[in-house]
Structure 1
Amino acid sequence: MSTPPPPNQPPAGGFGAPTDPPPGGFGAPPPAPPNMQPPVPQQQPPAPPAAPPAPPAGPPQQPPTAPQQPPAQPAYGYPQQGYGYPQQGAPGGPAAPNPYGAPTAPMHAAQPLPGTPQGPSGSEKRTQLMIVGAAALAIVLIVAGGFWYASGSADDGEPQAGPSASTGAAPAGTPGSEKAPANPKARVLYNHPSPAPEESTSVKGSWLTDSVYAKSDIGKIVGYNLVDGGKKWELPLPGEICGATKHVSDNKTAFLFRASQPTPEVKYPPCTEVGVLDLTTGKLVWSGNAKGSATGDRPANFDEVTISGNTVAAGGTSGGAAWNLADGKSLWTPKADAEGCYDSGYAGGEALAVIRKCGRHPNQTLQAQTLDPATGAPTSSYKLSEGIEWASIISTKPLVVAADVGKTAKNATGISDLFVVDPKGELKSRISLASGNFGGKCRSTEVEMCSNIVVGNGKVYLPSIEHQGQESGRTNELLSFELETGKQTTDRSDAGERYTMYPLRMDGSNIIAYKSGPYDKGGQVVSIDGTTMKQTLLMETPGDRAAKKAEIAFSPEFSEFRYHNGKLFMSRTTARKSSISGGDPDYLFVSYTAS
């Protein structure tokens, strides 16, 4: 199924590094102890492309027919022009009334899906950038993928996906589950050829457990074993996958899909169907949809889906809805009100939170609310400043909201400020990132799609932007802010000369990060001690020419990175047939295993 790219694609040519800074370094708190201070850069970001189009005036009367998809996967690892696109967000005020009540829209019962398993599409070739053999080669600035895994529940023993934000309360010294292997030098596990549809098609969604790696494909989800990458199971779907959560609960996860393939009459079927997948068996536990507050008898069109505990919640411009994870029973839907409010998107994990839009453009207001997952009733509400169109949720417990206030975010990060909200809905602290010295990034129209920023140990961790190192290479550092005070700490962990670091998730009180390597070395996965900021090497990928070319095709921002127990998977979120014949293999995902 083909879908058009989103309106706010990165500029042609990919993603490059910002201007080299003067001496002094990046992002350091004043004052800081000697040798603990990263340099402050010249703020010369590349000119961003046009901002995304204005949102509709309240919930639309019909679900949109053209889906929003991330841009085609850019090549990763070489200096290019530009590195992102602008987004927007907001700040605060009082609580809001409860817009929720008993379920007002039925959800269709779980149904088996038609079709028989299909084999994967053949490999297509495309030209990739050649590896440059120069020591001064600048590794492109790409923000880390916002996907991570925490240790699983005692019920199933499987690693449970969820935002590192969910571990914000982890005390210092809490041990992580990831241990350094006897030999961190990794080998390629399995590289799967990419499908090659004529137009850009969503393949969002990938999940890694103790026994399986599951990945979305064209009209299906496939589970692969962790020994040699062989297929374990396959779940065919009637239409394209159009969204997926990174969370796993009780070894189940949720995704969005279209009810049918495109036809000449309906080129872009709406994204209305919610499905829950058992990652062990590959079986569809249930699927269904719900009516939106402004869609009449038609199913609501959803943009995002998430999980918190036993609740699956999906939201979008035509409203939201929630279901029981185990059986698909409808739990609640937001009620329509005179202000035209709707739930634009939810964030899950340890808690459930929502960004709720009210009013009509250009006078819309946003509220960041925490919800009772069973009833949808707000347990706290923080009103963002008027005129702010978009906001994202970095963490649900504690609640940390990201926004671009007054369009002051620099370096195309989409974040000028973080707002830390207490359980009563009152502002605890405000963290300014408007200097552009930090590498966290949020996508304006998606609530739970921030990357390169994680929360844990009562802090928020994010890297400095890439800058000139001590020698000829480029590098950056991992830094942090206290959530309680909003002040920058003296925490610092250097990526190392010619390496660039991207935090992926928390592991107890440790930070799991991916480090892109120079042209002649592989990348690394490290565990960073949350107290000492000392790094432990968990994995180093192969640095030979073929392996390096495969690895640099996946950027931490536009790809899904999954690391657990000595296994690393990098996968695409969109697929499209290359317009250039020949060249290097094009992969849906690549994977590595450390011995």
Structure 2
Amino acid sequence: MSFGPPPSMHTQPTQSAPAVDPSRDRRRRRVLGAVAAVVAAVVCLGAGLIWYHSAGQTHGRTGAKAVQQAPDAVRETLEKAPVSPEGEVVVKHNEGGLTGKQQRFAPATWATGKIVARALADRIEAYKTEPHPDSDAKAWTLRLGGHVCAVSRDVTADGRTAVVVEPGHTDSPQAGACDEVVMVDLDTGKKLWQRKTPAGEDASILGTNISLTRGVVAIAWDEGSVAYDMHSSRLLWKTSATSQCHDSAYAGGQALLALVKCGDPGDPTYRVEKLEPRTGRALWRYSVSNGLRSIYLPSADPPVIAVEAGDYRVTDLLTLDPKSGERLATISMNGYDPKCGSDVGAFFDAVDTCYGMVVGRDRVFVMSKDTDDLTRKPENQITAFDLRKGTAVGKFVGRLFQQVVPVRMNGDDLIVFRSTMDDVQPAAVVDWNPRTDKETPYLLFRLPEDEHELGDPEQSDILYEQGQVFFARRLLARDDVHPKNPVLSVIGVGTAGLEH
């Protein structure tokens, strides 16, 4: 069964970034509104202290057990509550050398428990996150010999990831072909291997993506695709756009999905395929209806498709059976904001990324749109939907001036970032069990003043890994008011308590 409205004038698929969301300006205005509502905020803080003393007695998640993963599997770490939720800065890096109207792209951030690393222009740079370090202690820098033009946000269980670069072009992300893939050990900064993709001379930053699944690195661009063995860099399979249909993008993790484009490039049709990673053989196919503006693959296992039906926003989520590819449910996104699409100034393909949603084993968690009531209602909420039925089965509600953002799964629990827009309430990272509705505080902290965009998932990466939370801007630009000052690139917070 296919999905979608009858074809309309809006049938040209695009991965372009939508117009600037007016909700960003609305959130900035709320900072001023918070001053007028400080009394209400104090009441919320009192409630927050009660929440801490009650929920803080729950250490970790009932019945949760860590799963032993193969070294080349995409990492799935299981977090536990720290001894103390009081947070302290473990890393803070300011990026200098920005001149004129130059912008420096930082499309990916990775953390391993030992370091936090960033893809920055033509290099990957890592900073130490050890307890009580120099907050800007650089661990290593890996020069890539070209501008980064595609990234995987996944990390293997043994700390590896991969990027695609434009060899010989370091000054602009549009200078040449994105035709070399680099495998990196994030703990050491060692380049494990580098390969030139076959027939990749037409690959560009506007249509290239890279994904990891167990033992396999898969890259797709407008004119073809290729897969390599993660350990040896051996070519496993490839496709080209000379056929009627070709793989245009991948989503990885615990499985590998392909977004397949067919027919006229000006008016293509699409289908989603689950692939056998080492051969590229399709295990099942799901045909997506015509008339859609854009299609995203926010999860490969379980398979979830996000579609834009006639608008520059995701209108529906489609959930599929992981074994057969049969459609299970359609979930309307009316009133929700999954934040899918291009993430850095319309560059960097983001077919596999939705910053306002997280997919779990049997549930998908989606941010609601922000409220328009500045003084009476919580900023927003996160709704949990059953993947098989498509029905809402739980809600995690924000507070006044405190937006909640889904960060990642923690087993069957959800790790949530609760931002703050005033000087009274602290920001927080909490673990939410949607089955019992219990929340456990992991970290309480404050981000630097006038840096509220760090907590905006549309502008910054938000990661939680092994007891530490990181906020990292994806686009760095000079401050016109203070043009000589370096720009905050990444900040990380860990527990101020003793080690477990």
Per the alignment, residue 540 of structure 1 pairs with 444
The reply to whether residue 183 of structure 1 matches residue 90 of structure 2 is: no
- Name the CA distance, whole Å, in 2 between partners of 1:263 and 1:396: 34
1:280: Cα distance to partner? 2.0
Per the alignment, residue 441 of structure 1 pairs with 339
- Name the CA distance, whole Å, in 2 between partners of 1:468 and 1:300: 43
TM-score (norm 2): 0.80
The reply to whether residue 224 of structure 1 matches residue 132 of structure 2 is: no
- Name the CA distance, whole Å, in 1 between partners of 2:298 and 2:171: 38
- Name the CA distance, whole Å, in 2 between partners of 1:422 and 1:553: 35
- Equivalent of 1:450 in 354, 370, 391: 354
Please, which runs of 5 or more residues in structure 1 have no aligned partner?
Answer: 1-5, 18-76, 81-128, 140-149, 163-175
Per the alignment, residue 160 of structure 2 pairs with 252
Q: How does 1:33-52 map to 2 (within 5 A)?
A: none
Q: Which amino acid aligns with 1:425?
A: G
The reply to whether residue 285 of structure 1 matches residue 192 of structure 2 is: yes
- Name the CA distance, whole Å, in 2 between partners of 1:483 and 1:324: 32
Whether contact under 8 Å (1:285, 1:327) holds in the other structure is no
Greater mean deviation of Cα atoms: 182-191 or 307-316: 182-191
**Cα-to-partner distance string for 1:326-368 (whole Å, 9 max, x where unaligned):** 12111111144542x2222100000000111111144310011
Whether contact under 8 Å (1:443, 1:449) holds in the other structure is yes
1:470: Cα distance to partner? 9.8
Q: Which amino acid aligns with 2:294?
A: W
Whether contact under 8 Å (1:238, 1:261) holds in the other structure is yes
1:130: Cα distance to partner? 9.0
For the residue of structure 1 that corresponds to 2:310, the secondary structure is helix
For the residue of structure 1 that corresponds to 2:197, the secondary structure is coil
The reply to whether residue 215 of structure 1 matches residue 124 of structure 2 is: no
Q: Which amino acid aligns with 2:94?
A: P
Per the alignment, residue 306 of structure 2 pairs with 402
> Judging changes above 3 Å, is the alpha-carbon distance between structure 1 residues 8 and 368 closer, same or farther for their aligned structure 2 residues?
same
The reply to whether residue 274 of structure 1 matches residue 181 of structure 2 is: yes
Please, which runs of 5 or more residues in structure 2 have no aligned partner?
Answer: 1-14, 42-64, 343-348
Give the fraction of aligned pairs with identical amino acids, expressed as a percent: 24
For the residue of structure 2 that corresponds to 1:79, the secondary structure is helix
- Name the CA distance, whole Å, in 1 between partners of 2:409 and 2:380: 19
1:276: Cα distance to partner? 0.6
- Name the CA distance, whole Å, in 1 between partners of 2:241 and 2:416: 42
> Judging changes above 3 Å, is the alpha-carbon distance between structure 1 residues 447 and 426 closer, same or farther for their aligned structure 2 residues?
same
**Cα-to-partner distance string for 1:204-236 (whole Å, 9 max, x where unaligned):** 221111212112223211222212242222211
Whether contact under 8 Å (1:135, 1:472) holds in the other structure is no
The reply to whether residue 429 of structure 1 matches residue 329 of structure 2 is: yes
- Equivalent of 2:142 in 222, 225, 235: 235
Whether contact under 8 Å (1:78, 1:138) holds in the other structure is no
Per the alignment, residue 549 of structure 1 pairs with 450
- Equivalent of 2:408 in 477, 501, 505: 505
Which is richer in helix?
A: 2
For the residue of structure 2 that corresponds to 1:133, the secondary structure is helix
Whether contact under 8 Å (1:363, 1:387) holds in the other structure is no
1:155: Cα distance to partner? 5.1
Q: Which amino acid aligns with 1:224?
A: Y
Q: Which amino acid aligns with 2:403?
A: T
Per the alignment, residue 133 of structure 1 pairs with 35
Which is richer in strand?
A: 2
**Cα-to-partner distance string for 1:268-316 (whole Å, 9 max, x where unaligned):** 1222221110112210011122224xx6xx3644621110000001112
Q: Which amino acid aligns with 2:338?
A: G
For the residue of structure 2 that corresponds to 1:235, the secondary structure is strand
Whether contact under 8 Å (1:558, 1:573) holds in the other structure is yes
Per the alignment, residue 57 of structure 2 pairs with none
- Name the structure, 1 or 2, with higher relative contact order (CA <8 Å, separation 6+): 1
- Name the CA distance, whole Å, in 2 between partners of 1:389 and 1:468: 28
RMSD of aligned C-alpha atoms?
3.2
- Name the CA distance, whole Å, in 1 between partners of 2:74 and 2:212: 11
TM-score (norm 1): 0.68
1:456: Cα distance to partner? 1.7
Per the alignment, residue 352 of structure 1 pairs with 256
